[in-house]
Structure 1
Amino acid sequence: MSSACSLLPDHQRVVITGLGVVSPLGRDLESFWKNISAGACGISQLDCLPQDSQTASFGGQAKCFTGDIGDFGPLDKALQRAIKKNQKVMCREIELGVAACQLALHHSGLSDPSLRQPDRTGIVFGSDYILTRPEEFADGVKACMDDHNQFPMPLWPGTGRPQVNPLWLLKYLPNMPASHVAIYNDLRGPSNSVTIREASSAASITEAVATIRRGSADVMLAGATGSRLEPLRALHFATSEKLADEADPTKMSRPFGKERSGGILGEGAGALVLESLAHAKARGAKIWGEIMGGAGSAVCAELHEAEIDSIRIATSNVLRSLMRKAEAAGANLAPEAWHIHACGKSEPDHDRSEALGIVDCVGESGPVVTAAKSYFGNLGAGSAAVEIVASCLALEHRELFGLVAPQNIDEACAIRPATAGVAPGDWFVSLSYSSQGQAAGVCVRRFVSA
């Protein structure tokens, strides 16, 4: 596919020049691709949750990330000191996001500030809503307890609250990943944060692309971080969602499969460095793909008198929009020319709804469908960013990773499942959605110079 088919001028075409990932399958691109292309399982025994109070024993834990400064990638001494100093006001989700961004910047070759204009470089980054850990208030609560082991609330303002770290809130604000990265790297351009659960990654990338196309920046970082492995959040998901109950971790996450029994809790972050094609060409950058467009849809079932399938409708809305944008950019819509990277949560009802939304747009003989959650579960807001990195690498290596057990797809999910090693096509669509009916997606093509 020639990139010359686009009608946009080079300063409005947006390309991917850097990829960063922190995931259950690794935090460097080589390890990540080696693992996912080999069908490795990133679901393992959890050591980050108290097992005496949790129902989830296995999950997609990013054990490759310990919080050591080396986990943030190659950094000069000043940047190492800045990040280490501020880790005391970063919860794990924020650390994961900062690390993914630093890794992406390094991968793009733009970690050297002399290669970018600070006022023309920005960031749009997503996250889940981040819960404060109860431990933040433990000392204050203890200070208020009386002789009868009761907590008199009137004592809290004068006795309890002074025991709480005054900077505690900074550790949990969802805008902090973007703020930290912008400060560390002197990114003075547009900055924004997005918090719409699993739809956050694609929504962030879509906004970053729009920022470059309207001329407000030459370079943007975009992506998201997420974790469903914080203790209170894990308890919440265990009571509000269907989680997998298999004993074998390699069979726990089965998007669209007959045997799927529920989702898998996970954590991770992904980041992309986006540039205008003109800027990337001027510095001779390696290009990993071109963003043809992004789309979003929100469908609230509660607002309708008749029962509707909000996930199906939102997914089909997004996919149709992305197919139109890809066609307008000159992409080939023949089934063999592209693949769909589905959200694929492995939740029985949600998978069915997503599959119906896909079939509504492409029929049962459409492009092959894969889902990286097969390998590491649901990483929350960070999922789609990590999945987009995976599909970009598939385009680069010219082979696609398949679904777990593709030969055993649920009849109610009439998709064409991808098998390991099948050709990925020349472009792909990434789909993601939240349980509340918010969906988002992007379409990316392999870049071939004219």
Structure 2
Amino acid sequence: MRRVVITGIGAITPIGNTIKEYSQALKEGRSGADYIKHFDASKFKTTFACEVKGFDGAEVFGRKEVRKMDLFSQYGLVSAEEAVIDSGLNFDEQNPDRIGVIWGSGIGGLRSLEEQIELNSDYENTPRYNPFMIPKMIADIVPGQIAIKYGLMGINYGTVSACASSSHAIINAMDNIRLGRADIIISGGSEAAVTRAGIGGFSGMKALSGRNDDPSTASRPFDKDRDGFVLGEGAGALILEEYEHAKKRGAKIYAEILGGGMTDDAHHITAPHPDGLGAANVMKNALLESSVSTSDIDYINVHGTSTPLGDIAEIKAILKIFGDDAYKLSISSTKSMTGHLLGASGAIESIACIIGMEEGFVPPTINHFTDDPEIDQKLKLTYNTPEEKQIDMILCNTFGFGGHNTSFVLRKL
């Protein structure tokens, strides 16, 4: 099968609205968590989140156009544009039939749906729904919008698998290029679920941290006192391209995506398998498809959400698959800084991996205060400060509600 490389990246995150800003924040170990500004959250159990800062969609798209797009679409288009510019692609010189978009979002336009329900909640009056409500809220709208913007007429669809959505999109994009269905695919994911319903829903299921007295330290993967994840928002975009196509046009190549795994826990709608069986299988499958061994991996960017059950299950899975090699590699969770971007997680976390490869460091797991006796502390969990390291091979893990598991391997070229 054909080889697939990454030739462009773009991101808008709670710790930086561009790749340059995101990279700097990762090196600094900066937290993106703060009290919620999008709405009055004072009556909620959790009053903080990892919001994107300093973004005004009206300034970017204009007041008329921004009314047609949910925030998750705005984030997606902004990150895609940065990735396209970074790639150096001139679409006028390419065959649009051979360029696609595969994009992930776990929830889609929650804010747009929420607003319209609130506005029309008085059933005594004539309902007046916004004509843009449906195209604003559907989770698959972003790949369509990106295609329209750039005139791309190839493969185009959205992936929805909760927090694994954008990783599924990336793996699907890789597969379609390998099989010859496209030469270039814009992939990634976006999410904007920091809304009343988003915070209320996740809080109601006791998934969120309740550390309202100190939001910046609330996301603490692998810490003994972790109490849930911090909801985040934003987007990440990657340009996936067939290797020879990229070489021919003289593109900068960040990394090669070697292979991926996709499994399910078949255990519980929200909780991971307690022994991490699905997570172990997905990592095994990713390594097998990539034709690499456990000793080849330098770093694992883990799902690491800061939940009591999830963190332990993932560590068990790593030890099961990697054995003694687990103690030789670096492990970290960038969700400690960005919060949990749900369907966009895999996209921004794979970009964090690429940044680490480029600049020779492992992004840290910040907010570590107390060792968890259930977690093997001989593992290199890269606590609190970045680790300087040459990174040539990375495993990226992302898991979602419903038991969805994804994992893929990146190699530096």
Match of 1:394 among 349, 356, 370: 356
| Counterpart code for 1:172 | M
Q: Does 1:115 align with 2:93?
A: yes
Residue number in structure 2 paired with 1:125: 103
Deviations 1:304-339 (A, max 9, x none): xxx99267111111111122233x2xx56427x510
**Matched-pair contact (CA < 8 Å) for 2:174–2:240:** yes
Residue number in structure 1 paired with 2:69: 90
* Matching of residues 43-442 of structure 1 within 5 Å: 43-70=33-60, 85-110=64-89, 112-130=90-108, 131=110, 132-142=112-122, 144-145=123-124, 160-161=126-127, 163-246=128-211, 247-301=213-267, 309=273, 312-326=276-290, 328=291, 331=292, 333-334=294-295, 337-363=297-323, 364-405=326-367, 408-414=370-376, 415-419=379-383, 420-442=386-408
Q: Under a length normalisation based on structure 1, what TM-score does the superposition of the two structures give? A: 0.84
- Secondary structure of 1:301's partner? coil
Q: Shift of the alpha carbon at 1:199?
A: 0.6
Deviations 1:225-268 (A, max 9, x none): 12331211210000113322332233211111112121101111
- Secondary structure of 1:369's partner? strand
Distance in 2 (alpha carbons) for counterparts of 1:431 and 1:122: 24
Distance in 1 (alpha carbons) for counterparts of 2:259 and 2:100: 19
**How has the CA–CA distance of structure 1 residues 233 and 68 changed in structure 2, closer, same or farther, with 3 Å as cutoff?**
same
**Matched-pair contact (CA < 8 Å) for 2:80–2:237:** yes
- Secondary structure of 1:381's partner? helix
**Matched-pair contact (CA < 8 Å) for 2:221–2:368:** no
Distance in 1 (alpha carbons) for counterparts of 2:64 and 2:244: 37
| Counterpart code for 1:63 | K
**Matched-pair contact (CA < 8 Å) for 1:202–1:432:** yes
Which range moves more in the overlay, 227-236 or 206-215? 227-236
| Counterpart code for 2:164 | A
Q: Shift of the alpha carbon at 1:352?
A: 1.1
Distance in 2 (alpha carbons) for counterparts of 1:184 and 1:371: 34
Distance in 1 (alpha carbons) for counterparts of 2:275 and 2:195: 26
- Secondary structure of 2:158's partner? strand
Q: Shift of the alpha carbon at 1:341?
A: 0.3
Q: Under a length normalisation based on structure 2, what TM-score does the superposition of the two structures give? A: 0.92
**Matched-pair contact (CA < 8 Å) for 2:330–2:362:** no
Distance in 1 (alpha carbons) for counterparts of 2:220 and 2:175: 35
| Counterpart code for 2:85 | H
**Matched-pair contact (CA < 8 Å) for 1:339–1:424:** no
**Matched-pair contact (CA < 8 Å) for 2:272–2:403:** no
**Matched-pair contact (CA < 8 Å) for 1:296–1:441:** yes
Q: Shift of the alpha carbon at 1:64?
A: 3.4
Distance in 2 (alpha carbons) for counterparts of 1:236 and 1:29: 31
Q: Shift of the alpha carbon at 1:69?
A: 4.3
Deviations 1:108-167 (A, max 9, x none): 112x3223221110010000123353431455444x53xxxxxxxxxxxxx623x22233
Distance in 1 (alpha carbons) for counterparts of 2:54 and 2:282: 34
**Matched-pair contact (CA < 8 Å) for 2:332–2:364:** yes
Question: Which ranges of structure 2 fall in alignment gaps of 5 or more residues?
Answer: none
**Matched-pair contact (CA < 8 Å) for 1:227–1:380:** no
- Secondary structure of 1:269's partner? strand
Question: Which ranges of structure 1 fall in alignment gaps of 5 or more residues?
Answer: 1-7, 71-79, 146-158
- Secondary structure of 2:45's partner? coil
- Secondary structure of 2:126's partner? helix
Distance in 1 (alpha carbons) for counterparts of 2:367 and 2:115: 42
Distance in 2 (alpha carbons) for counterparts of 1:382 and 1:308: 19
**Matched-pair contact (CA < 8 Å) for 1:124–1:222:** yes
Q: RMSD between aligned alpha carbons?
A: 2.2
Number of equivalent positions: 403
Q: Shift of the alpha carbon at 1:366?
A: 4.6
**Matched-pair contact (CA < 8 Å) for 2:58–2:66:** no
| Counterpart code for 2:322 | V
Distance in 2 (alpha carbons) for counterparts of 1:441 and 1:67: 33
**How has the CA–CA distance of structure 1 residues 409 and 385 changed in structure 2, closer, same or farther, with 3 Å as cutoff?**
farther
- Secondary structure of 2:8's partner? strand
- Secondary structure of 2:405's partner? strand
Q: Shift of the alpha carbon at 1:68?
A: 3.8
Q: Does 1:444 align with 2:375?
A: no
Which range moves more in the overlay, 129-138 or 164-173? 129-138
Which range moves more in the overlay, 124-133 or 96-105? 124-133
**How has the CA–CA distance of structure 1 residues 244 and 433 changed in structure 2, closer, same or farther, with 3 Å as cutoff?**
same
Distance in 2 (alpha carbons) for counterparts of 1:402 and 1:444: 19
